[in-house]
Amino acid sequence: MRFIFKTDYDQDIRILKHSGYWWSYGVLLAVMLAAPYLLGSYLQSQLVFVFIYAIVGVALMILTGFTGQASLGHAAFLAIGAYTAGFMQSLGVPFIVYFPLAAILTGVVGALVGFPALRLHGIYLVIATIAFAFIVEEVLARWESVTHGNEGMRVRALDLLGMPVPRDSEAFYYLCLLVLVGAVLLALNLLRSPTGRAFVAIRDSETAGKSMGIDLAAYKVKSFAISAAITGLAGVLFAHKMTFISPEMFTLLLSIEFIMVIIIGGAFGVHGAIFGAIFIVMVDPFLTALKDDLPVLVASIGDSLGMSPEAAGQLREKLAKIGSAAGLKGAIYGLIIMMFILFEPYGLYGRWLKVKLFFQLFPLYKRATFKRQKTYVKSERNR
Amino acid sequence: MLDFIQQLVSGIALGCVYGLIALGFVLIYKATEVVNFAQGDLMMLGGFFVFTFIGLMGIDYWLGFLFAVCGMAVFGMATERVLVRPILGYPQFSIVMATIGLGYFLRSIAGMIWGTDDLRIETPFSAGVLKIGDLVLAHDKLSVIVATVILCAVLYAFFNYTRMGTAMRATSENMLAAYYMGIPVKRVVSLIWAISAAVAACAGVLLAPITFIHSNVGLVLGLKAFPAAVLGGFGSIPGALVGGLIIGVIESLAGFYLPQGWKDIAPYLVLLVVLLVRPQGLFGLSMRKKV
Amino acid sequence: MSFFTVDGISLQFGGLKAVDNVSFSVTKGEIFTIIGPNGAGKTSIFNLISRLYDPTSGRLFFEDRDITEVPPHQIAKLGIARTFQNIELFENASMLANLLVGRHCHATTGLWQEMLFLPGVRRAEKEHRRKVEEVIEFLDLQAYRDKLIAGLPYGVRKVIEVARALCSEPKLILLDEPSSGLNVEETDDMSFWIRDIRSELGITVLMVEHDMTLVNRVSDRVLALNYGKVLASGTPAEVQAHPDVIAAYLGA
């Protein structure tokens, strides 16, 4: 176990707290930089989606994880970012202009959503954000002169200062990685400065925050604006990755997926957003692979256990039939969400921390360290 | 004028269905502070139960109705036991996500069992109409309204005049205190889920003649019932019904008088405006935390 | 004008007069205590001073400035800090983070600077941390620096709340029942600290308290309330001898 002897305030302020961090994050960054040359184009493309989801995850982490304001409307912010990119590009505006412009525009919209949110709590806020997202979706479908309505909109390849950056290129991969790293650094910087602490204070006790000099209205609006702006950036990247956008891509289900990113990852740190994004993006290809391979695998296990070939064949057929049933993916999706909240409430990052602690304390680790205490419900309505 | 009344009545009928789903949300929320996003899907499941009993097995309508409601009550209890009880006391948002997960699960399973086609159930109210002068009112819509009124009266009496109802109200205020006073909190919570699922089943059965039953109907209607509950003030039983009626009527009138597209967002616009003026909803209590 | 004055303040909730025409003034450097039975309106007065409630009538003056209309988040900046009766700490943050929030009213850095963590922010951060360490030293909280509040015992949290209030470098500190829920030793410590806050840091103390031993030990002047009205004020001995106060407590 490592003991850190603090002699300097900088030791607490630094993002990379000690040499171990330099090593592990350095290696991670090196692997990420080398990835396009190591992985096939399919995995590289999946990684780009991981980055985009992780950027939105970081944005949601700022709003929901740190400030405690729930939102089921982030798909709308993503949509605004994506459509800004599509529309601006069709007008011939260069990328370096519309990229920041998308962030500013979504940031302003986010602040506008933040204003009514000042007085809303918990479930009221969730519903208000859902309502907002529905309205944005409808506007996108009806405002045909800009968005081409339900027909959708083509987005041409990204053009960075005259250099084309197609969706599958290494350059696009690095651009997404760069934006993600930027978003992560921004979130970490906020966390170690007064604004981030004010966010956390609002999450834990509004009254105390007010008495400590925190202007609730200003900071809630700031949190919404920052979160929306980062999501807007992700939206631009999303538009260029998809090359085609239409209103039905930005539904409530996408917002739910974003929330799942932080719940599955663990809603109390930036790590969670990354872990969650990896999980959400990879679960789909994983399920597809499972659908194809599992029946064969089970049958071959049955075979080796002395099952007759006909019985094994029947088993394989049966499993394949269940596997190809229409709604299976949704059911597994639902199960995953429920299982995570039931058994892994601190998310993947929480599990990672537990495993780390287990090895740090090796023979002495106690299961009860993370055991949940018995809880009961006392009305939260009185606040 | 006639058109207006026709639209109003069908809006009220639709609003009653929203109101019933919203009622389910509110019952559970009042008792356990859990916001059940899967309430609409419970309704969908109720509809499929009725379809199975009446449409597939050919049981008499009323008997099938009873079976479906009982079946859903049991299902509600099971959900509470398996999914909700272990996570009670988690941050509210986690619980919301768990019920969203449940919704996904139920929709997919229902789709796998009953297929993804639109199903129709024949009921005693499917065909008849009531004529008052030039006004033609379909029995199916009237049946929804009448049934909602009866159901609400029964629930109101239950909560205000029975021992169990009082225990439920006590539990909803403070679970620990209720427990110390000898109220069997676990049983009470179980029962609330049973009632709530049963109400959802009623909504599903009543809905059957008005619209088709398919695996996504719960999601679609649930997303309207939610604003209804919030509009009325989450936690208020009359609020849920009034909210449901408002949303239903607005949707119906907007669909008739306004250009295409307004029908779907008008309820949400109204909701946002109401929340701007009254953040606690129409009947919600505004309470501030004491320090 | 004096240091801090409450002038004829009233607060009405519907038909209930929680605070009824209460006036008093606190001189710089004293320890002023408000006592009274439960529901007498003591905490309501604190909530009025920290502007969480709007008074129905009356005015508040702090250092010759009318603060009746000042928004709640600017009260801290003027130099009034407070603690809460039932502890309002930021549960899921470390003690250090909690104390740093106490420094919020002295934050000078802007959002853009913070996002990029420019050198100015780092400098300001170090200064905040230095000030926080002074308070940690003063109240002997070194052992809990990086601990999450959620896992700390009640007595410690109570002290941390005082520490958080001190971090904002107030001129006037409002302590809402500093000894409630503390055992005898912890109450003893608290009474020493309250006196130190006044004598070493030069901060004026206004507190609400039930424990009469503590009140007698530390306060210079006492104000007794019942049903929102002032019963008596003066030295602790005078107030306790006042017939109305005895009647209010003994129910005679």
Q: Is C29 left (phi over 0), alpha (psi -120 to 50) or beta?
A: left
Rounded mean pLDDT, A121-132? 85
Percent above pLDDT 70 for chain A: 93
Rounded mean pLDDT, A196-200? 93
Mean pLDDT for all residues in chain B: 83
Mean pLDDT for all residues in chain C: 90
Q: What is the pLDDT of residue A382?
A: 41
- Determine the Cα–Cα distance for residues B250 and B259; give it in Å rounded to an integer: 14
**CATH number for the domain including B259?**
1.10.3470
Measured in angstroms, the CA of C247 and the nearest CA of chain A are apart by 34
Judge whether residue A186 has pLDDT over 80. yes
Q: Token match 């493309």: residue?
A: A45
Interface of C with A in 199-218 (CB under 8 A): none
Question: Quick count: other Cβ atoms within 10 Å of Cβ C21?
Answer: 14
Judge whether residue A374 has pLDDT over 70. no
Judge whether residue B208 has pLDDT over 80. no
Q: Does C49 touch chain A (CB under 8 A)?
A: no
Which domain does B174 fall in, by range? Answer: 2-277
Q: Where are the domains of chain A?
A: 46-269, 284-366
Cα B79 to the center of its chain, rounded Å = 16
Residue of chain B minimizing CA distance to C176: B291
Does A336 sit within 8 Å of B108, measured CB to CB?
no
Q: Is pLDDT larger for residue C19 or for residue C252? A: C19
Q: Is pLDDT larger for residue C113 or for residue B118? A: C113
Total domain count for chain B?
Answer: 1
Residues of B in Cβ contact (< 8 Å) with C86: 291
Q: What is the pLDDT of residue A376?
A: 59
Q: What is the pLDDT of residue A383?
A: 36
Residue of chain C minimizing CA distance to B290: C86
Question: Quick count: other Cβ atoms within 10 Å of Cβ A290?
Answer: 13
Judge whether residue B187 has pLDDT over 80. yes
Q: What is the pLDDT of residue B287?
A: 54
Mean pLDDT for all residues in chain A: 84
Judge whether residue B274 has pLDDT over 90. no
Q: What is the pLDDT of residue B126?
A: 65
pLDDT band at A185 (very low <50, low <70, confident <90, very high): very high
Treating both helix axes as pointing N-terminal to C-terminal, what angle do B39-50 and B92-114 enclose, rounded to 10 degrees? 20
- Determine the Cα–Cα distance for residues C234 and C247; give it in Å rounded to an integer: 17
Judge whether residue B291 has pLDDT over 60. no
Q: Where are the domains of chain C?
A: 4-79+170-250, 92-156
Find the CB nearest A337 among B35, B98, B230: B98
DSSP state letter for A53:
H
Judge whether residue C72 has pLDDT over 50. yes
Write a three-state SS string for chain B.
CHHHHHHHHHHHHHHHHHHHHHHHHHHHHHHHCCCCCCHHHHHHHHHHHHHHHHHHCCCCHHHHHHHHHHHHHHHHHHHHHHHHHHHCCCCHHHHHHHHHHHHHHHHHHHHHHHCCCCECCCCCCCCCEEEECCEEEEHHHHHHHHHHHHHHHHHHHHHHHCHHHHHHHHHHHEHHHHHHCCCCHHHHHHHHHHHHHHHHHHHHHHHCCCCCECCCHHHHHHHHHHHHHHHHCCCCHHHHHHHHHHHHHHHHHHHHHCCCCHHHHHHHHHHHHHHHHCCCCCCCCCCCCCC
Q: Mean pLDDT highest for which of A31-40, A224-233, A277-286?
A: A224-233
Q: Token match 């002032």: residue?
A: C230
Q: What is the pLDDT of residue A56?
A: 96
Measured in angstroms, the CA of B116 and the nearest CA of chain A are apart by 9
Judge whether residue A377 has pLDDT over 60. no
Q: Is pLDDT larger for residue A281 or for residue B134? A: A281
Q: What is the pLDDT of residue B181?
A: 87
Strands (E), chain A: 153-154, 158-160, 163-165, 244-245
Report the C-alpha dihedral over residues B228, B234, B236, B239, rounded to 10 degrees: -20
Cα–Cα distance list, A318 to A161, A314, C132 (Å):
55, 6, 67
Measured in angstroms, the CA of B37 and the nearest CA of chain C are apart by 27
Judge whether residue B286 has pLDDT over 70. no
Q: What is the pLDDT of residue B198?
A: 92
Interface of A with B in 206-245 (CB under 8 A): 206-208
The model's pLDDT over C183-204, given as tens digits with 9 standing for 90+, comes to: 999 999 999 999 999 999 999 9
Judge whether residue A367 has pLDDT over 70. no
What CATH number is given for C4-79+170-250 in this structure?
3.40.50.300
User: Phi then psi for C7, rounded to 5 degrees?
Assistant: -120, 105
pLDDT band at A57 (very low <50, low <70, confident <90, very high): very high
Q: What is the pLDDT of residue A255?
A: 92
Choose among A187, A223, A206: nearest CA to C90: A206
pLDDT band at A177 (very low <50, low <70, confident <90, very high): very high
Q: What is the pLDDT of residue A323?
A: 66
Question: Quick count: other Cβ atoms within 10 Å of Cβ C252?
Answer: 7
Neighbours of chain C (3+ CB pairs under 8 A): A, B
Choose among A30, A85, A88, A82: nearest CA to A56: A82
pLDDT band at A369 (very low <50, low <70, confident <90, very high): low
Q: What is the pLDDT of residue C169?
A: 92
Is residue B199 domain-resident?
Answer: yes
Is residue B90 domain-resident?
Answer: yes
The strand pairing partners of C16, in sequence order, are C13
pLDDT band at C145 (very low <50, low <70, confident <90, very high): confident
Asked if B87 contacts B95 with a C-beta cutoff of 8 angstroms, the reply is yes
- Determine the Cα–Cα distance for residues A353 and C174; give it in Å rounded to an integer: 40
Judge whether residue B28 has pLDDT over 80. yes
Interface of B with A in 95-124 (CB under 8 A): 95-98, 100-112, 116
Measured in angstroms, the CA of C230 and the nearest CA of chain B are apart by 22
Best of A4, A193, A375 to substitute, by most chain C Cβ atoms within 10 angstroms, is A193
Judge whether residue A368 has pLDDT over 70. no
Q: What is the pLDDT of residue A295?
A: 74
